[in-house]
Amino acid sequence: MDTVFLRLRSIVFIVFICAFTQVQADQNHTSNTVLIVGDSLSAAYGVQTDEAWVALLRARLDEEGLENWQVVNASISGETTDGGLRRLPDLLEKHEPEVVVIELGGNDGLRGFPPTVIEKNLARMIEHVRDADAHPLLVGMQIPPNYGERYTRIFAGIFPKLAKRYDTGLVEFFLEGIYDQDGMMQSDGIHPTANAQSQLLANIWPELEPLLK
Instruction: Find all residues with CB under 8 Å of 78, minimum gap 6, and list them.
Output: 39, 40, 107
Treating both helix axes as pointing N-terminal to C-terminal, what angle do 53-63 and 197-212 enclose, rounded to 10 degrees?
A: 50
With residues binned 3-state (H G I as helix, E B as strand, rest as coil), the percentages for the chain, rounded to 5, are 55, 15, 30
Q: How far apart are CA 69 and CA 109, in angstroms?
A: 32
Q: Does 191 qualify as catalytic in the annotation? A: yes
Pick the catalytic residue from 75, 108, 135, 191. 191
Pick the catalytic residue from 2, 167, 180, 188. 188
Sign of CA dihedral 184, 186, 188, 191: negative
Q: Which of 24, 56, 57 is nearest to 211 (CA)?
A: 57
Q: How far apart are CA 16 and CA 10, in angstroms?
A: 10
Q: How far apart are CA 30 and CA 65, in angstroms?
A: 15
CA 210 to chain centroid, in Å, comes to 13
Pick the catalytic residue from 39, 40, 42, 128. 40
Q: Does 188 qualify as catalytic in the annotation? A: yes
Q: Does 29 qualify as catalytic in the annotation? A: no
Instruction: Find all residues with CB under 8 Å of 67, minimum gap 6, and list them.
Output: 61
Helix (H) or strand (E) holding 62: helix 53-63
For residue 192, what are the β-bridge partners?
185
* Catalytic positions, written as ranges: 40, 188, 191
